[in-house]
Structure 1
């Protein structure tokens, strides 16, 4: 879920996202936009319900298995959005890992833990390490 405060969602993220799709690093399974107005009322928008410019930018990103994000899932995620914001919710497969995952399985291995570390945490840790190195 990618949040755009003040409902400033305009589709400018599409070219970078196309790059990931074109390089076959990801496969888009489902993509939906949720908007929340100033009074907190949320609405789920399909690509064809967006402004023409945004719909055109994102139309290529819709997956073959549209609809895997249910209305209930989307409204639960929308509850997390602040008023007067828009979110692009994308369900995608990291295809870049497929060959590695196959190799792991074929060698008898299995994933026992997987966790994403938020970028701000990584940036803070990197800054601390660089400061420590500079002080040494």
Structure 2
């Protein structure tokens, strides 16, 4: 197992109508190439109109895509179980596909290491979902406009 320096995150991205086309791949590969993230696992799951769930690991994808993605990942048994993946996929609406990515935020680890080496310590590390940020921003703008 690789020595972890940054927080590990699981992100699930949904695509309506089972229309996952891979257009996110260039941006994804760019983040990996820049060293911002390190991919640990990547899974594609879908739910059909009748509620049937399919979970595809990298090796189950077409050969070219599978080969490219396997170069990015470091499989570590036990981090995402089949039970975990099925539970997440069960939340999908019918006829939707999800891309699930387990990755390390390497940039955070490097920054945290620099903080520790300078005698500091990280005391809070919390993710604020984008919709909450937008909501708070809109409230501040509305309050400023009403003054």
Q: Which range moves more in the overlay, 117-126 or 44-53?
A: 44-53
| 1:81-120 map, 5 Å | 81-106=92-117, 107=119, 109-111=121-123, 113-120=124-131
Deviation at 1:48, TM superposition (A): 4.1
Tell me which residue corresponds to 1:45.
56
For normalisation by structure 1, the TM-score amounts to 0.82
Distance 1:46 1:13 in 2: 18
Tell me which residue corresponds to 2:80.
69
Structure 1: gaps of 5 or more residues: none
Q: Confirm or deny that 1:8 pairs with 2:39.
A: no
Given the superposition, is the C-alpha separation of residues 85 and 61 from structure 1 closer, same or farther in structure 2, using an over 3 Å criterion? farther
For normalisation by structure 2, the TM-score amounts to 0.77
Structure 2: gaps of 5 or more residues: 1-11
Kept in 2, the 8 Å contact 1:40–1:83? The answer is yes
Runs of 4+ in 1 over 6 A off after TM superposition: none
Q: Which range moves more in the overlay, 83-92 or 39-48?
A: 39-48
Given the superposition, is the C-alpha separation of residues 33 and 62 from structure 1 closer, same or farther in structure 2, using an over 3 Å criterion? farther
**Aligned residues: CA RMSD:** 2.5
Distance 1:58 1:85 in 2: 24
- For residues 81-110 of structure 1, give each alpha carbon's deviation from its aligned partner in whole angstroms, at most 9, with x where no partner exists: 111111000000000011222244453635
